[in-house]
Chain A
Amino acid sequence: MVVTIAQQPFSMAKVSASSWNFAVRLWLATILALLVSFWLQLEAPSTAAVTVAILAEPTRGQALEKAAFRLVATIVGVTASIAITGLFSQARDLILAASALWLGLCVFAAKLLDGYRAYAAVLSGYTAANIAVQQIDNPQHVFEASVERGAAIAVGIMSIAVVNVFMSAPDRHPRLAAQLAAIHRRVRDYASATPRGNRGNSATFLALVQEIVGLRPQIESIALESSSGSVRSAAARSAAVGLVAELQAARILTTAPAHFDIAARDQTSAAVDRLDGSSLQWRMPARSVDLQNHVPDATTETSSWKIRELLRIDETVRQDLLALRSVRWPSRLQRAPLYRSCRIAADSAVRATLWFAIAATFFVWAGWSAASASLYLVAAIAALGLTTPNPRGYTAIALVGAPIAVVVAGILEFVVLDGADAFPVLAIALAPSTIGAALLTTSQNPLWSGLGRINLIAVPTILALSNPQTYNPQTFLFTSLFVVAATAVLLAAQMLIPPASDDKQRMRLLAEARDELQEPDTKDSDPNEAAFRDASRIAQFLSAGGVRDDHALSEMLSCFDRSATVRLCNAKLMQLAEGPFAQLAHQAHAAIAARDTASLRAIAIELREKASHKDSVEADVAACLVLTSDIIDGRSGAHSFQEAT
């Protein structure tokens, strides 16, 4: 998304000051981590440096959140590796099989999560591969190795946390607030463009859905930024959930029936045009929308209700954004649930297990005793790749990046340092490679940023810094060989068993959306939260190449419209469940479940006749019922999208 900044930011060598700041911070944190680990005489000081490289996130909250998850995941992974080694200490092959299964289990969990939670899940998978497999020949050292690893990771985390605080790493929340406000403006624009018959904006709708859902991990990570972080996070979460609901309400405005007359449409436009104005105009009471002088038939009432609903949601979003800016708790706490497809997750898990098993078979068959390091890398790259949209592309970038990292590490070790044993020399020697790689990671181009990230992590891994450094060319050669071999073997395994195709994932998501429509979730959840969950499914669908598949996309959107409307209607009917209209509400519930639109319309007419006044709850419910029957009849979503494309 684009946040325009008025003044031109300071830049040096075409790289912005914030990127330089980030790169220098990272270099300082690496040096600090190495210094402390050397001083504490840790067994694996390079793990601390690698931890810093892994926690290389541009903002403080993200680095802290990733650090917390890294620590927790390491503990889980270490426990698993102790269990695996304890169970199968006499049988090497069984340790490999158990590690493969554990990796699969963790990938399954990761595919059900997002952001750093997914990272934590895969990390606990490949930590077991690291510790259990590396100690395969001396299982009695598993606990010591785990404690050493844990200590080095803790040192890495503290180094980057301290450097981030004192080098004023930026906070994420000001930018998040700006992004949410910008999205809010665009949702309003979308809403005001909609009733003017401008239907070519399905692309806008999809882009907005993707952006809102894409902010979810960042909303979680601002919780750790300061003592008020959790308040900001809650407000931002409510705002994001509200934005999806507002977007949905705006989209429903397009479901204007064919006989929606011109006068009503103009009035709708006029009402929604108030969205464009300042917030003062905007705060005009929702119910004052003037459609009264028009003939109050069902259509007009439904459209006026739709606008009231849109205005109501917009007001709550505005309040939430205000709460975010002024650091107050939002009026109501909402969850932002993620859509979880167990079938897709299981599919990926099986593939990850098989890739690891193929690579393990190859290395066992090759008979290299030091190949355990390769297996660790296979597990790490396979698992991390599965948290990205294109796992094989990730491995391919790793295969390109590994030789570059080998060359950089070789130059560092045998040309630049070449036997040096003074710490300041090491610190200066690390500067070009660390800062260079960190600058690359800030690039917009995914290839460059991928290569930067791989170099950032692989160079300290290959260097295997220790105190004193051994400068053994043979060790270097073997390590380099195994790093390259790991990526090559994994890519070969992924050629043999390709990752789940986009088509298959799309079909699965669509089938699940369809199933859910047939058997709606009876759990008593908030309609807005459920709409957010459906929106996250659309985002997953789009990231699996959904834009190219017009037919499936329109069906997906139609499922979204229908389930959202039915849920909204059910929630509205709950308001009548206690009063004198309980019987009618019950009938309406049954009619919705049976998709019986004729009865729904009849109930709506009855409710409207019995309604005390035009703005009563009963009239609202009646309008909602008419809308639901329109949408169930299919005068909506799918059709308008097809017209648009």
Chain B
Amino acid sequence: MAHSFPELVIGGVLVAPFVTYLVAALVVIIVLRPILHFVGFAKMFSNARIAEVSLYVTILGSLMLLF
């Protein structure tokens, strides 16, 4: 079965579904930040920034898969 993506139309301009996912993943990351600090996420990795980008990509992929 083909995955149908939600469409977002603002003032007659069609916004790509991918953009919606990008923004949603960003919101999830922002909400997760205090929890990440609490569990010491930045200390677990030698390169915390790449770990954080990977987390973002993981969340983005999961969102696209699930919704």
Q: Are A226 and B13 in contact (CB under 8 A)?
A: no
By a CB distance below 8 angstroms, the chain B residues around A267 are none
Interface of chain B, main secondary structure: helix
What's the A-B contact tally at a CB cutoff of 8 Å? Answer: 35
**Which residue from B13, B36, B47 sits with its C-beta under 8 Å from A227?**
B36
Interface presence of A231 (CB below 8 A): yes
B13-52 at interface with A (beta carbon < 8 Å): 13, 32-33, 36-37, 41-43, 47-50, 52
- Report the Cα distance A410→B67, complex, angstroms: 50
Q: Are B13 and A144 in contact (CB under 8 A)?
A: yes
By a CB distance below 8 angstroms, the chain A residues around B52 are 226-227
**Which residue from B11, B12, B32, B42 sits with its C-beta under 8 Å from A226?**
B42
Interface presence of B63 (CB below 8 A): no
Q: Are B42 and A143 in contact (CB under 8 A)?
A: no
By a CB distance below 8 angstroms, the chain B residues around A162 are 53
- Report the Cα distance A171→B47, complex, angstroms: 12
Q: Are A143 and B36 in contact (CB under 8 A)?
A: no
Interface of chain A, main secondary structure: helix
Q: A143-B11, A143-B13, A147-B13 are in contact. Are A226 and B48 (CB under 8 A)?
A: yes
Q: Are B11 and A227 in contact (CB under 8 A)?
A: no
- Report the Cα distance A165→B55, complex, angstroms: 13
Q: Are A231 and B37 in contact (CB under 8 A)?
A: yes
By a CB distance below 8 angstroms, the chain A residues around B53 are 162, 165
By a CB distance below 8 angstroms, the chain B residues around A171 are 49
What's the interface size class on B, roughly? 10 to 19
Q: Are B50 and A166 in contact (CB under 8 A)?
A: yes
Interface presence of A230 (CB below 8 A): yes
**Which residue from B11, B13, B36, B49 sits with its C-beta under 8 Å from A165?**
B49
By a CB distance below 8 angstroms, the chain A residues around B12 are 143
Q: Which of A168, A227, A230 has the most CB of B within 10 A?
A: A227
Interface presence of A60 (CB below 8 A): yes
1/0 contact string of A132-173 vs chain B (CB within 8 Å): 000000000001100100000000000000100110100100
Q: Are A227 and B50 in contact (CB under 8 A)?
A: no
User: Of all chain B residues, which has the CB nearest A166?
Assistant: B50
By a CB distance below 8 angstroms, the chain A residues around B47 are 168
Nearest chain A CB to B36's CB is how many angstroms away? 4
Interface presence of A16 (CB below 8 A): no
By a CB distance below 8 angstroms, the chain A residues around B41 are 227
Q: Which of A144, A162, A228, A231 has the most CB of B within 10 A?
A: A228
1/0 contact string of A417-431 vs chain B (CB within 8 Å): 000000000000000
Nearest chain A CB to B27's CB is how many angstroms away? 13
Nearest chain B CB to A298's CB is how many angstroms away? 49
**Which residue from A60, A147, A227 sits with its C-beta under 8 Å from B42?**
A227
- Report the Cα distance A226→B42, complex, angstroms: 7
A357-399 at interface with B (beta carbon < 8 Å): none
Q: Are B50 and A165 in contact (CB under 8 A)?
A: yes
A319-361 at interface with B (beta carbon < 8 Å): 327
Q: A226-B42, A227-B42, A228-B42 are in contact. Are A60 and B49 (CB under 8 A)?
A: yes
By a CB distance below 8 angstroms, the chain B residues around A227 are 32-33, 36-37, 41-42, 48, 52
Q: A143-B13, A144-B13 are in contact. Are A228 and B37 (CB under 8 A)?
A: yes
Nearest chain B CB to A485's CB is how many angstroms away? 34
- Report the Cα distance A144→B13, complex, angstroms: 8
Q: Are A230 and B13 in contact (CB under 8 A)?
A: no
Nearest chain A CB to B1's CB is how many angstroms away? 28
Nearest chain A CB to B20's CB is how many angstroms away? 13
Nearest chain A CB to B60's CB is how many angstroms away? 12
- Report the Cα distance A165→B56, complex, angstroms: 13
Nearest chain A CB to B23's CB is how many angstroms away? 10
- Report the Cα distance A165→B47, complex, angstroms: 10
- Report the Cα distance A29→B41, complex, angstroms: 27
1/0 contact string of A167-195 vs chain B (CB within 8 Å): 01001000000000000000000000000
- Report the Cα distance A336→B52, complex, angstroms: 29
Nearest chain A CB to B38's CB is how many angstroms away? 9
- Report the Cα distance A165→B48, complex, angstroms: 10
By a CB distance below 8 angstroms, the chain A residues around B32 are 227
1/0 contact string of A218-236 vs chain B (CB within 8 Å): 0000000011101100000
Q: Which of B32, B33, B47 has the most CB of A within 10 A?
A: B33
By a CB distance below 8 angstroms, the chain B residues around A228 are 36-37, 42
- Report the Cα distance A143→B12, complex, angstroms: 10
User: Of all chain A residues, which has the CB nearest B53?
Assistant: A165
- Report the Cα distance A231→B37, complex, angstroms: 8
By a CB distance below 8 angstroms, the chain B residues around A226 are 42, 48-49, 52
By a CB distance below 8 angstroms, the chain A residues around B43 are 327
- Report the Cα distance A230→B30, complex, angstroms: 11
Q: Are B49 and A230 in contact (CB under 8 A)?
A: no
Q: Which residues of A contact B (CB under 8 A)?
A: 60, 143-144, 147, 162, 165-166, 168, 171, 226-228, 230-231, 327
Q: Which residues of B contact A (CB under 8 A)?
A: 11-13, 32-33, 36-37, 41-43, 47-50, 52-53
18 cross-chain CB contacts under 8 A: A60-B49, A143-B12, A143-B13, A144-B13, A147-B13, A165-B49, A168-B49, A171-B49, A226-B48, A227-B36, A227-B42, A227-B48, A228-B42, A230-B33, A231-B37, A327-B37, A327-B42, A327-B43
Other A-B contacts than A147-B13, A165-B50, A168-B49, 4 sampled, CB-CB below 8 A, are: A166-B50, A226-B52, A228-B36, A228-B42
Report the 4 A-B pairs with minimum CB-CB distance, sorted nearest first. A227-B36, A228-B37, A227-B33, A228-B42
